[in-house]
Structure 1
Amino acid sequence: MKNVRVVENGVQAKEVIEQFLNRGYKRDEVYLLAHDKNRSKDLTEALETNDVGVSEQGVFDLMANIFRSRGDELRSKIHSLGLSDTEAQQYERELDQGRVLVIATKAG
């Protein structure tokens, strides 16, 4: 089960994260992505969301991201959370516009 929300800023991201938590998601099931790596890292830390890492992407994709453009890296991360290639492309365009992506995902 996946829920995806596109927001404009950290305040809206915090509100969406709280909504997801109130709907039964755990904090480690909530991911936050922004186009700018520093913004993504800062918001992830400040809002205590999960980072898309080895367990989501696998070692190969994680290492490949070192050599990918930021757009390719973001699409790979979005796809690794269970969204389709088409959805990943759509959401990456939103990130290009400076928006923030909040994804809540449960296995099964």
Structure 2
Amino acid sequence: MSTFDNKAYARVVENGIQAVEAVQELRNAGYLSENIYVIDHDEDRTGEIAEVARANEVGIEEEGALSAIANIFRSRGDELRAKIVSLGFTQSEAEFYERELDLGKVLVIVSRV
């Protein structure tokens, strides 16, 4: 939808159920499914939420090949911050969101990148 600006949007929710609801709300507001991502601190749970919500996981296409390869050697926190930055957020924003993920929350993102 052309009326939205180019800044990425993020919403922190408490759990997977709220993440699915947030994704649906974004779709209803006109955001395209291919621009909606979910991130959870647990990689398996990210996949499960993404599947149920019909949203995306951050992958090589979003991160770039070098960053995706580097993630093999990164801690989970470093990997999550790199994924968040790849979707259009600053490093300090990524640090904030990663701390929220550490608390068991889920991140729903609309990417403009």
TM-score for both structures, normalised by structure 2: 0.90
Give the structure 1 partner of residue 10 of structure 2: 4
Superposed displacement of residue 71, structure 1: 0.3
- How do residues 55-94 of structure 1 correspond to structure 2 at under 5 angstroms? 55-94=61-100
Q: Does the CA-based 8 Å contact 1:30-1:103 persist in structure 2? A: yes
Unpaired segments of 5 or more residues in structure 1? Answer: none
Superposed displacement of residue 43, structure 1: 0.9
Q: Does the CA-based 8 Å contact 1:25-1:106 persist in structure 2? A: no
When the two chains are superposed, the root-mean-square deviation of aligned CA atoms in Å is: 1.0
Q: Which structure shows the bigger proportion of residues in helix conformation?
A: 1
- The AA in structure 2 aligned to 1:99 is K
Percent identical among aligned pairs is: 49
Task: Give, in whole Å, the separation in 2 of the partners of 1:77 and 1:105.
Answer: 11
SS of 1:66's equivalent in the other structure is coil
Deviation string 1:9-54 (CA, Å, 9 cap, x unpaired) is 1111111111111121111110000001111111112211112112
SS of 1:67's equivalent in the other structure is coil
Superposed displacement of residue 6, structure 1: 0.3
Q: Which moved more, 1:72-81 or 1:54-63?
A: 54-63
Is 1:102 the counterpart of 2:108? The answer is yes
Q: Does the CA-based 8 Å contact 1:13-1:100 persist in structure 2? A: yes
Superposed displacement of residue 106, structure 1: 2.9
- The AA in structure 1 aligned to 2:99 is R
Count of residues paired in the alignment: 107
- How do residues 38-53 of structure 1 correspond to structure 2 at under 5 angstroms? 38-53=44-59
TM-score for both structures, normalised by structure 1: 0.94
